[in-house]
Structure 1
Amino acid sequence: MGQQAAPVRTARLGKAVGSGPGAVSGAVLLLAGGAEVSEQRPFPFSTGLVRALGRRLARTGRTEGLAVHPVHYRYRGWNGTEAHLASDATWAADEAVRLYGDVPVCLVGLHMGGRAALRAGGHEAVNSVVALAPWLPEEDVARPVEPVKQLVGRRVLIAHGTNDERSDPELSFRLAARAKKVNRDVCRFEVHSDGHGLHQYRDEVVALTEDFVLGALFGHPVSRPVEDALAAPPPIGLRMPLASGFGRSLRK
Protein backbone atom coordinates (compact mmCIF):
# COMPACT_ATOMS: atom_id res chain seq x y z
CA MET A 1 0.00 0.00 0.00
CA GLY A 2 1.25 3.46 -0.78
CA GLN A 3 1.93 5.91 1.97
CA GLN A 4 -0.86 8.33 2.72
CA ALA A 5 -0.04 11.98 2.17
CA ALA A 6 0.31 14.00 5.34
CA PRO A 7 -2.68 16.31 5.86
CA VAL A 8 -2.07 19.86 4.72
CA ARG A 9 -1.91 22.24 7.64
CA THR A 10 -4.01 25.36 7.51
CA ALA A 11 -4.03 28.51 9.58
CA ARG A 12 -7.10 29.14 11.67
CA LEU A 13 -8.87 32.15 13.12
CA GLY A 14 -9.73 31.45 16.74
CA LYS A 15 -13.06 32.13 18.36
CA ALA A 16 -13.76 35.78 19.10
CA VAL A 17 -12.53 36.78 22.54
CA GLY A 18 -15.32 37.53 24.99
CA SER A 19 -18.95 37.66 24.00
CA GLY A 20 -18.20 39.55 20.81
CA PRO A 21 -20.03 42.61 19.50
CA GLY A 22 -23.27 42.63 17.56
CA ALA A 23 -22.41 44.46 14.35
CA VAL A 24 -18.65 44.44 13.72
CA SER A 25 -16.98 47.69 12.66
CA GLY A 26 -13.33 46.80 13.31
CA ALA A 27 -11.15 43.78 14.03
CA VAL A 28 -8.00 43.00 15.96
CA LEU A 29 -5.96 39.92 15.07
CA LEU A 30 -3.69 38.65 17.85
CA LEU A 31 -0.38 37.11 16.74
CA ALA A 32 1.51 35.17 19.40
CA GLY A 33 5.23 34.40 19.38
CA GLY A 34 6.98 31.55 17.62
CA ALA A 35 10.41 30.24 16.74
CA GLU A 36 12.94 31.29 14.13
CA VAL A 37 13.00 27.83 12.54
CA SER A 38 10.56 25.01 13.30
CA GLU A 39 8.01 22.96 11.39
CA GLN A 40 6.47 21.66 14.61
CA ARG A 41 2.95 22.59 15.54
CA PRO A 42 2.68 26.06 17.10
CA PHE A 43 2.78 26.67 20.81
CA PRO A 44 -0.61 26.71 22.58
CA PHE A 45 -2.08 30.20 22.50
CA SER A 46 -1.46 30.84 26.17
CA THR A 47 0.97 33.77 26.38
CA GLY A 48 -0.15 35.86 29.34
CA LEU A 49 0.35 39.25 27.72
CA VAL A 50 -1.47 38.31 24.51
CA ARG A 51 -4.41 36.87 26.47
CA ALA A 52 -4.56 39.99 28.66
CA LEU A 53 -4.55 42.19 25.57
CA GLY A 54 -7.33 40.19 23.98
CA ARG A 55 -9.56 40.39 27.04
CA ARG A 56 -8.97 44.11 27.54
CA LEU A 57 -9.54 45.03 23.90
CA ALA A 58 -12.66 42.87 23.64
CA ARG A 59 -14.12 44.45 26.76
CA THR A 60 -13.40 48.10 26.00
CA GLY A 61 -14.02 47.85 22.25
CA ARG A 62 -17.28 45.94 22.38
CA THR A 63 -19.51 49.01 22.26
CA GLU A 64 -17.59 50.19 19.19
CA GLY A 65 -18.17 46.89 17.39
CA LEU A 66 -14.65 45.49 17.86
CA ALA A 67 -14.08 41.79 17.16
CA VAL A 68 -10.86 40.31 18.61
CA HIS A 69 -9.54 37.00 17.32
CA PRO A 70 -6.38 35.00 18.02
CA VAL A 71 -4.60 33.63 14.95
CA HIS A 72 -3.53 29.99 15.08
CA TYR A 73 -0.50 29.42 12.88
CA ARG A 74 0.27 26.38 10.75
CA TYR A 75 3.81 26.05 12.05
CA ARG A 76 5.79 27.19 15.06
CA GLY A 77 8.59 28.72 13.01
CA TRP A 78 9.10 31.68 10.71
CA ASN A 79 11.21 29.39 8.53
CA GLY A 80 13.36 31.67 6.44
CA THR A 81 12.00 32.85 3.12
CA GLU A 82 8.81 30.86 3.70
CA ALA A 83 7.87 33.45 6.35
CA HIS A 84 5.08 31.16 7.51
CA LEU A 85 3.90 33.37 10.36
CA ALA A 86 3.61 36.43 8.12
CA SER A 87 1.75 34.39 5.51
CA ASP A 88 -0.66 33.20 8.18
CA ALA A 89 -1.19 36.78 9.37
CA THR A 90 -2.01 37.82 5.81
CA TRP A 91 -4.43 34.90 5.49
CA ALA A 92 -6.08 35.94 8.77
CA ALA A 93 -6.62 39.48 7.45
CA ASP A 94 -8.27 37.95 4.37
CA GLU A 95 -10.46 35.86 6.66
CA ALA A 96 -11.49 38.92 8.69
CA VAL A 97 -12.59 40.59 5.47
CA ARG A 98 -14.54 37.47 4.49
CA LEU A 99 -16.29 37.41 7.88
CA TYR A 100 -16.90 41.09 8.46
CA GLY A 101 -16.60 42.89 5.14
CA ASP A 102 -14.85 46.21 4.65
CA VAL A 103 -13.80 46.97 8.23
CA PRO A 104 -10.39 48.23 9.42
CA VAL A 105 -8.06 45.61 10.85
CA CYS A 106 -5.28 46.00 13.41
CA LEU A 107 -2.55 43.38 13.68
CA VAL A 108 -1.22 43.02 17.24
CA GLY A 109 1.83 40.79 17.55
CA LEU A 110 4.21 39.72 20.30
CA HIS A 111 7.82 38.62 19.75
CA MET A 112 7.95 36.67 16.45
CA GLY A 113 4.29 37.59 16.06
CA GLY A 114 5.40 41.22 16.14
CA ARG A 115 7.61 40.57 13.13
CA ALA A 116 4.67 38.86 11.42
CA ALA A 117 2.42 41.85 12.14
CA LEU A 118 4.94 44.28 10.67
CA ARG A 119 5.55 42.15 7.58
CA ALA A 120 1.83 41.56 6.92
CA GLY A 121 0.94 45.20 7.58
CA GLY A 122 0.65 45.91 3.88
CA HIS A 123 -2.62 44.01 3.57
CA GLU A 124 -5.23 46.38 2.14
CA ALA A 125 -7.60 45.87 5.11
CA VAL A 126 -4.93 46.65 7.72
CA ASN A 127 -4.86 50.23 8.92
CA SER A 128 -2.65 49.75 12.00
CA VAL A 129 0.04 47.51 13.48
CA VAL A 130 1.23 46.92 17.04
CA ALA A 131 4.52 45.07 17.52
CA LEU A 132 5.47 44.26 21.11
CA ALA A 133 9.08 43.20 21.74
CA PRO A 134 9.30 42.13 18.09
CA TRP A 135 11.93 39.53 17.21
CA LEU A 136 13.87 40.82 14.23
CA PRO A 137 16.89 39.30 12.45
CA GLU A 138 20.34 40.77 12.69
CA GLU A 139 21.11 43.12 9.83
CA ASP A 140 24.23 42.52 7.75
CA VAL A 141 25.34 42.58 4.13
CA ALA A 142 24.41 38.92 3.62
CA ARG A 143 20.86 39.29 4.93
CA PRO A 144 18.34 41.76 3.50
CA VAL A 145 16.85 44.10 6.07
CA GLU A 146 13.21 43.80 7.04
CA PRO A 147 10.99 45.74 4.60
CA VAL A 148 9.11 48.83 5.75
CA LYS A 149 7.43 50.22 2.62
CA GLN A 150 4.37 48.03 3.27
CA LEU A 151 3.72 50.15 6.36
CA VAL A 152 3.06 53.33 4.40
CA GLY A 153 -0.42 54.60 5.23
CA ARG A 154 -0.65 52.51 8.42
CA ARG A 155 -0.42 53.71 11.99
CA VAL A 156 2.37 51.78 13.72
CA LEU A 157 3.23 51.28 17.40
CA ILE A 158 6.31 49.39 18.61
CA ALA A 159 7.04 48.83 22.30
CA HIS A 160 10.18 47.12 23.56
CA GLY A 161 11.79 46.42 26.93
CA THR A 162 15.25 47.91 27.24
CA ASN A 163 16.55 44.80 29.04
CA ASP A 164 15.29 42.33 26.44
CA GLU A 165 18.04 39.74 26.02
CA ARG A 166 16.21 37.64 23.41
CA SER A 167 14.94 40.27 20.97
CA ASP A 168 17.46 43.09 20.58
CA PRO A 169 15.63 46.39 21.20
CA GLU A 170 18.15 48.23 19.02
CA LEU A 171 16.92 46.26 16.02
CA SER A 172 13.34 47.43 16.56
CA PHE A 173 14.63 50.99 16.91
CA ARG A 174 16.47 50.73 13.58
CA LEU A 175 13.40 49.35 11.86
CA ALA A 176 11.24 52.09 13.37
CA ALA A 177 13.72 54.72 12.16
CA ARG A 178 13.59 53.37 8.62
CA ALA A 179 9.79 53.14 8.74
CA LYS A 180 9.52 56.71 10.01
CA LYS A 181 11.31 57.94 6.88
CA VAL A 182 8.48 56.69 4.67
CA ASN A 183 5.59 56.99 7.14
CA ARG A 184 5.25 59.69 9.76
CA ASP A 185 2.62 57.70 11.70
CA VAL A 186 5.18 55.51 13.46
CA CYS A 187 6.01 55.63 17.17
CA ARG A 188 8.04 53.46 19.48
CA PHE A 189 8.01 53.25 23.28
CA GLU A 190 10.82 51.96 25.46
CA VAL A 191 9.83 50.03 28.57
CA HIS A 192 12.78 50.76 30.81
CA SER A 193 14.30 47.84 32.74
CA ASP A 194 11.72 45.38 31.42
CA GLY A 195 12.66 42.15 29.69
CA HIS A 196 11.47 40.00 26.80
CA GLY A 197 8.07 39.13 28.24
CA LEU A 198 7.25 42.70 29.33
CA HIS A 199 6.05 41.25 32.64
CA GLN A 200 7.14 44.06 34.94
CA TYR A 201 5.01 46.70 33.23
CA ARG A 202 2.35 44.50 31.67
CA ASP A 203 -0.54 46.72 32.81
CA GLU A 204 1.10 49.75 31.21
CA VAL A 205 1.79 47.89 27.95
CA VAL A 206 -1.83 46.68 27.81
CA ALA A 207 -3.13 50.21 28.44
CA LEU A 208 -0.79 51.67 25.80
CA THR A 209 -1.96 49.13 23.24
CA GLU A 210 -5.62 49.72 24.06
CA ASP A 211 -5.22 53.48 23.73
CA PHE A 212 -3.44 53.15 20.39
CA VAL A 213 -5.76 50.52 18.88
CA LEU A 214 -9.01 52.30 19.72
CA GLY A 215 -7.56 55.50 18.29
CA ALA A 216 -6.37 53.83 15.10
CA LEU A 217 -9.52 51.80 14.42
CA PHE A 218 -12.25 54.13 15.62
CA GLY A 219 -10.72 57.60 15.67
CA HIS A 220 -10.73 58.00 19.44
CA PRO A 221 -8.40 60.73 20.74
CA VAL A 222 -5.17 59.06 21.85
CA SER A 223 -3.34 59.88 25.06
CA ARG A 224 -0.86 62.75 25.11
CA PRO A 225 2.21 60.47 25.21
CA VAL A 226 1.07 58.62 22.07
CA GLU A 227 0.17 61.89 20.36
CA ASP A 228 3.59 63.32 21.22
CA ALA A 229 5.42 60.18 20.11
CA LEU A 230 3.69 60.18 16.71
CA ALA A 231 4.41 63.87 16.20
CA ALA A 232 8.01 63.95 17.42
CA PRO A 233 10.88 63.60 14.95
CA PRO A 234 13.31 60.73 15.38
CA PRO A 235 14.88 59.70 17.60
CA ILE A 236 12.60 61.33 20.22
CA GLY A 237 9.36 59.72 19.07
CA LEU A 238 11.08 56.37 18.70
CA ARG A 239 12.61 56.28 22.17
CA MET A 240 9.61 57.52 24.10
CA PRO A 241 9.67 56.16 27.67
CA LEU A 242 6.58 54.31 28.81
CA ALA A 243 5.83 55.88 32.16
CA SER A 244 5.07 53.74 35.18
CA GLY A 245 1.35 53.90 35.83
CA PHE A 246 0.44 54.74 32.23
CA GLY A 247 -3.25 54.17 31.66
CA ARG A 248 -4.52 54.68 35.21
CA SER A 249 -6.20 57.91 34.20
CA LEU A 250 -7.52 56.54 30.91
CA ARG A 251 -10.96 55.04 30.37
CA LYS A 252 -11.50 51.69 32.10
Structure 2
Amino acid sequence: MPYDLTDRLALVTGATSGIGAACVDALVGAGARVVAAARRADRLDALASRHAGRVHPLLLDVRDRAAVEASLATLPAGWGEVEVLVNNAGLALGIEPAQRASVDEWQTMIDTNCTGLVVVTRALLPGMVERGRGHVVNVASVAGTYPYPGGNVYGATKAFVRQLTLNLKADLIGTGVRATSIEPGMVETEFSLVRFSGDAGKAKQVYQGMQPLGPEDVADAILWCVTRPPHVNVNALELMPERQAFSPFAVKRG
Protein backbone atom coordinates (compact mmCIF):
# COMPACT_ATOMS: atom_id res chain seq x y z
CA MET A 1 0.00 0.00 0.00
CA PRO A 2 1.28 3.53 -0.74
CA TYR A 3 2.44 5.44 2.31
CA ASP A 4 -0.29 7.79 3.52
CA LEU A 5 0.95 11.34 4.12
CA THR A 6 -2.28 12.58 5.72
CA ASP A 7 -1.32 14.90 8.61
CA ARG A 8 2.31 13.76 8.43
CA LEU A 9 4.82 16.57 8.89
CA ALA A 10 7.36 17.50 6.21
CA LEU A 11 10.06 20.15 6.06
CA VAL A 12 11.23 21.63 2.77
CA THR A 13 14.25 23.90 2.44
CA GLY A 14 14.46 26.45 -0.35
CA ALA A 15 10.68 26.34 -0.20
CA THR A 16 9.66 29.61 -1.83
CA SER A 17 10.59 29.04 -5.46
CA GLY A 18 11.09 26.38 -8.10
CA ILE A 19 11.28 22.77 -6.98
CA GLY A 20 10.89 23.71 -3.32
CA ALA A 21 7.63 25.59 -3.81
CA ALA A 22 6.31 22.79 -6.04
CA CYS A 23 7.19 20.26 -3.33
CA VAL A 24 5.24 22.24 -0.74
CA ASP A 25 2.21 22.28 -3.04
CA ALA A 26 2.52 18.56 -3.79
CA LEU A 27 2.97 17.51 -0.16
CA VAL A 28 0.07 19.65 1.06
CA GLY A 29 -2.02 18.27 -1.80
CA ALA A 30 -1.25 14.75 -0.53
CA GLY A 31 -2.48 15.67 2.96
CA ALA A 32 0.79 16.56 4.69
CA ARG A 33 1.55 19.62 6.78
CA VAL A 34 4.76 21.40 5.82
CA VAL A 35 7.38 23.52 7.54
CA ALA A 36 8.51 25.75 4.68
CA ALA A 37 12.05 27.03 5.23
CA ALA A 38 13.56 29.77 3.09
CA ARG A 39 15.29 33.17 3.19
CA ARG A 40 12.61 35.44 1.68
CA ALA A 41 10.01 36.46 4.24
CA ASP A 42 7.51 37.91 1.78
CA ARG A 43 7.41 34.73 -0.27
CA LEU A 44 7.14 32.60 2.86
CA ASP A 45 4.15 34.62 4.02
CA ALA A 46 2.49 34.24 0.63
CA LEU A 47 3.09 30.49 0.68
CA ALA A 48 1.64 30.15 4.18
CA SER A 49 -1.39 32.23 3.18
CA ARG A 50 -2.01 30.02 0.16
CA HIS A 51 -2.03 26.93 2.39
CA ALA A 52 -3.64 28.37 5.51
CA GLY A 53 -3.10 26.14 8.52
CA ARG A 54 -1.12 23.57 6.54
CA VAL A 55 2.19 25.45 6.16
CA HIS A 56 4.38 26.87 8.91
CA PRO A 57 6.78 29.50 7.52
CA LEU A 58 10.35 29.33 8.82
CA LEU A 59 12.72 32.16 7.90
CA LEU A 60 16.05 30.38 7.58
CA ASP A 61 19.37 30.51 5.75
CA VAL A 62 20.79 26.96 5.73
CA ARG A 63 24.32 28.40 5.62
CA ASP A 64 23.89 29.71 9.19
CA ARG A 65 24.55 26.64 11.31
CA ALA A 66 23.67 28.23 14.64
CA ALA A 67 20.37 29.53 13.27
CA VAL A 68 19.51 26.17 11.73
CA GLU A 69 20.17 24.25 14.92
CA ALA A 70 18.31 26.76 17.09
CA SER A 71 15.32 27.07 14.76
CA LEU A 72 14.82 23.34 14.29
CA ALA A 73 15.20 22.66 18.00
CA THR A 74 12.50 25.20 18.88
CA LEU A 75 9.77 24.59 16.31
CA PRO A 76 6.34 25.27 17.84
CA ALA A 77 4.19 22.51 19.29
CA GLY A 78 2.79 20.29 16.57
CA TRP A 79 5.46 21.29 14.06
CA GLY A 80 8.53 19.56 15.49
CA GLU A 81 8.21 15.89 14.60
CA VAL A 82 9.37 16.09 11.01
CA GLU A 83 8.87 12.86 9.13
CA VAL A 84 9.78 13.88 5.58
CA LEU A 85 12.76 16.16 4.98
CA VAL A 86 13.28 17.55 1.48
CA ASN A 87 16.73 19.14 1.31
CA ASN A 88 16.12 21.31 -1.72
CA ALA A 89 18.04 24.52 -0.91
CA GLY A 90 20.92 24.83 -3.32
CA LEU A 91 22.35 26.87 -6.15
CA ALA A 92 24.85 27.10 -8.98
CA LEU A 93 26.95 30.19 -9.50
CA GLY A 94 28.92 30.94 -12.64
CA ILE A 95 29.94 28.86 -15.61
CA GLU A 96 33.61 29.86 -15.85
CA PRO A 97 36.32 27.19 -16.15
CA ALA A 98 38.05 26.33 -12.90
CA GLN A 99 41.10 28.47 -13.60
CA ARG A 100 38.94 31.60 -13.89
CA ALA A 101 36.13 30.78 -11.48
CA SER A 102 35.42 32.78 -8.34
CA VAL A 103 36.53 31.11 -5.12
CA ASP A 104 33.86 33.11 -3.27
CA GLU A 105 31.21 31.56 -5.54
CA TRP A 106 32.71 28.12 -4.98
CA GLN A 107 32.52 28.65 -1.22
CA THR A 108 28.89 29.79 -1.40
CA MET A 109 27.96 26.65 -3.33
CA ILE A 110 29.78 24.41 -0.86
CA ASP A 111 28.23 26.19 2.14
CA THR A 112 24.71 25.92 0.71
CA ASN A 113 24.68 22.66 -1.24
CA CYS A 114 26.81 20.60 1.14
CA THR A 115 27.24 22.13 4.58
CA GLY A 116 23.71 23.48 4.87
CA LEU A 117 22.23 20.16 3.79
CA VAL A 118 24.37 18.26 6.28
CA VAL A 119 23.46 20.53 9.20
CA VAL A 120 19.70 20.37 8.52
CA THR A 121 19.84 16.60 8.11
CA ARG A 122 21.83 16.06 11.29
CA ALA A 123 19.42 18.24 13.28
CA LEU A 124 16.34 16.23 12.27
CA LEU A 125 17.68 12.71 11.82
CA PRO A 126 17.88 11.65 15.50
CA GLY A 127 14.16 12.33 15.97
CA MET A 128 13.29 10.26 12.91
CA VAL A 129 15.37 7.34 14.16
CA GLU A 130 13.89 7.60 17.65
CA ARG A 131 10.35 7.50 16.23
CA GLY A 132 11.23 4.64 13.87
CA ARG A 133 10.05 6.37 10.71
CA GLY A 134 11.13 9.12 8.36
CA HIS A 135 12.46 9.95 4.93
CA VAL A 136 15.37 12.17 3.91
CA VAL A 137 15.11 13.33 0.29
CA ASN A 138 18.15 15.15 -1.03
CA VAL A 139 17.88 17.09 -4.28
CA ALA A 140 21.08 16.36 -6.18
CA SER A 141 21.55 16.73 -9.95
CA VAL A 142 22.70 14.88 -13.04
CA ALA A 143 25.66 17.29 -12.79
CA GLY A 144 26.93 15.09 -9.98
CA THR A 145 27.27 12.20 -12.43
CA TYR A 146 27.96 13.77 -15.83
CA PRO A 147 30.65 16.48 -15.87
CA TYR A 148 30.44 19.42 -18.24
CA PRO A 149 32.67 22.43 -18.86
CA GLY A 150 32.05 25.09 -16.21
CA GLY A 151 30.28 22.65 -13.89
CA ASN A 152 33.37 22.20 -11.69
CA VAL A 153 32.41 22.86 -8.04
CA TYR A 154 28.65 22.80 -8.63
CA GLY A 155 28.91 19.27 -10.05
CA ALA A 156 31.20 18.26 -7.21
CA THR A 157 28.72 19.46 -4.60
CA LYS A 158 25.96 17.41 -6.20
CA ALA A 159 28.19 14.33 -6.33
CA PHE A 160 28.65 14.87 -2.58
CA VAL A 161 24.87 15.03 -2.11
CA ARG A 162 24.37 11.76 -3.98
CA GLN A 163 27.11 9.93 -2.10
CA LEU A 164 25.98 11.26 1.26
CA THR A 165 22.47 9.96 0.53
CA LEU A 166 23.79 6.48 -0.24
CA ASN A 167 25.86 6.53 2.93
CA LEU A 168 22.81 7.62 4.92
CA LYS A 169 21.00 4.61 3.50
CA ALA A 170 23.83 2.39 4.73
CA ASP A 171 23.75 3.92 8.22
CA LEU A 172 19.96 3.87 8.53
CA ILE A 173 19.38 0.22 7.65
CA GLY A 174 16.76 -1.26 9.95
CA THR A 175 15.78 2.05 11.55
CA GLY A 176 12.61 2.63 9.53
CA VAL A 177 14.15 5.81 8.08
CA ARG A 178 14.62 6.03 4.32
CA ALA A 179 16.99 8.11 2.17
CA THR A 180 16.62 9.11 -1.47
CA SER A 181 18.72 11.13 -3.91
CA ILE A 182 16.67 12.93 -6.58
CA GLU A 183 18.81 13.80 -9.60
CA PRO A 184 17.09 16.01 -12.19
CA GLY A 185 18.50 17.28 -15.43
CA MET A 186 17.40 20.60 -16.93
CA VAL A 187 14.57 22.17 -14.92
CA GLU A 188 13.30 25.65 -15.77
CA THR A 189 13.21 27.54 -12.47
CA GLU A 190 15.15 30.52 -11.12
CA PHE A 191 18.24 28.26 -11.23
CA SER A 192 19.79 29.77 -14.36
CA LEU A 193 18.76 33.29 -13.37
CA VAL A 194 20.77 32.88 -10.16
CA ARG A 195 23.66 31.23 -12.00
CA PHE A 196 23.96 34.15 -14.38
CA SER A 197 23.61 36.82 -11.66
CA GLY A 198 20.13 37.90 -12.71
CA ASP A 199 20.79 38.09 -16.47
CA ALA A 200 17.35 37.03 -17.76
CA GLY A 201 18.54 36.86 -21.37
CA LYS A 202 21.30 34.36 -20.62
CA ALA A 203 19.00 32.36 -18.36
CA LYS A 204 16.37 32.07 -21.09
CA GLN A 205 18.92 30.86 -23.65
CA VAL A 206 19.63 27.79 -21.53
CA TYR A 207 16.17 26.40 -22.33
CA GLN A 208 15.74 27.84 -25.84
CA GLY A 209 14.43 25.42 -28.46
CA MET A 210 13.68 22.56 -26.06
CA GLN A 211 11.18 21.63 -23.39
CA PRO A 212 12.86 21.31 -19.99
CA LEU A 213 11.39 19.70 -16.93
CA GLY A 214 9.18 21.89 -14.79
CA PRO A 215 9.47 22.07 -11.00
CA GLU A 216 6.19 20.18 -10.75
CA ASP A 217 7.76 17.23 -12.59
CA VAL A 218 10.48 16.93 -9.97
CA ALA A 219 8.04 17.43 -7.10
CA ASP A 220 5.89 14.66 -8.55
CA ALA A 221 8.90 12.33 -8.57
CA ILE A 222 9.68 13.23 -4.96
CA LEU A 223 6.08 12.64 -3.93
CA TRP A 224 6.19 9.22 -5.60
CA CYS A 225 9.32 8.28 -3.66
CA VAL A 226 7.98 9.31 -0.25
CA THR A 227 4.66 7.55 -0.78
CA ARG A 228 6.12 4.14 -1.59
CA PRO A 229 5.29 1.46 0.99
CA PRO A 230 7.53 1.69 4.07
CA HIS A 231 9.58 -1.36 3.08
CA VAL A 232 10.58 0.26 -0.25
CA ASN A 233 13.55 2.64 -0.42
CA VAL A 234 14.24 4.46 -3.68
CA ASN A 235 17.99 4.95 -3.39
CA ALA A 236 18.43 7.33 -6.32
CA LEU A 237 16.14 8.58 -9.05
CA GLU A 238 17.50 10.33 -12.15
CA LEU A 239 15.17 12.19 -14.50
CA MET A 240 15.78 14.33 -17.59
CA PRO A 241 13.73 16.05 -20.25
CA GLU A 242 13.15 13.92 -23.32
CA ARG A 243 15.27 16.46 -25.24
CA GLN A 244 18.30 16.14 -22.99
CA ALA A 245 20.81 13.30 -22.91
CA PHE A 246 24.31 12.72 -21.58
CA SER A 247 27.15 15.16 -22.12
CA PRO A 248 29.54 14.23 -24.95
CA PHE A 249 33.23 13.87 -24.28
CA ALA A 250 34.93 17.23 -24.56
CA VAL A 251 37.61 17.18 -27.26
CA LYS A 252 40.08 19.99 -27.89
CA ARG A 253 41.12 19.93 -31.54
CA GLY A 254 43.84 21.80 -33.40
TM-score bracket, shorter-length normalisation: 0.3 to 0.5
Q: So what's the TM-score if we normalise by structure 1?
A: 0.45
Q: So what's the TM-score if we normalise by structure 2?
A: 0.44
Q: Which structure would you say has the larger RCO, counting Cα contacts within 8 Å and 6 or more residues apart? A: 2
Tell me which protein shows more helix as a share of its residues: 2
